[in-house]
Amino acid sequence: MASRTTLVLDEEAREAARQLARRYGCSLSEAMRRALVRQRDADVGVPAGRRRERARALRRLFDLFAENDPAAEVRRLKAEDQGF
């Protein structure tokens, strides 16, 4: 559930929030939410549920690329690029 909080930002923090919002292509409040979550993950660690979700995604990628031959893929891409 969302709740409203008022923050008082000095000019440096406000400019940092503006820069993040431009970079992420979102509102100031969304940029600050993302920054808070990323900082928490960096300092405290990623929550167990998120770690499991990431591990599942990584295993899925391994499955998707299990039969992939990187050398053959590079050869195919180079052959396609010869026309350019």
> Can you give the residue ranges of every domain in the chain?
11-81
> How much is the pTM?
0.57
- What pLDDT sits at residue 40? 92
Where residue 19 falls among pLDDT bands split at 50, 70, 90? very high
Residue 81 pLDDT grade (very low, low, confident, very high; cuts 50, 70, 90) = confident
Write the CA distances from 55 to 5, 16, 40, 68, integer angstroms.
33, 32, 19, 20
Kindly indicate the confidence band of residue 3, based on its pLDDT and cuts at 50, 70 and 90: confident
* 5 backbone dihedrals φ, ψ, rounded to 5°: -135, 140
| Long-range contact set of residues 28-34: C-beta below 8 Å, sequence gap at least 24 | 32/7
pLDDT at 84 exceeding the cut of 90:
no
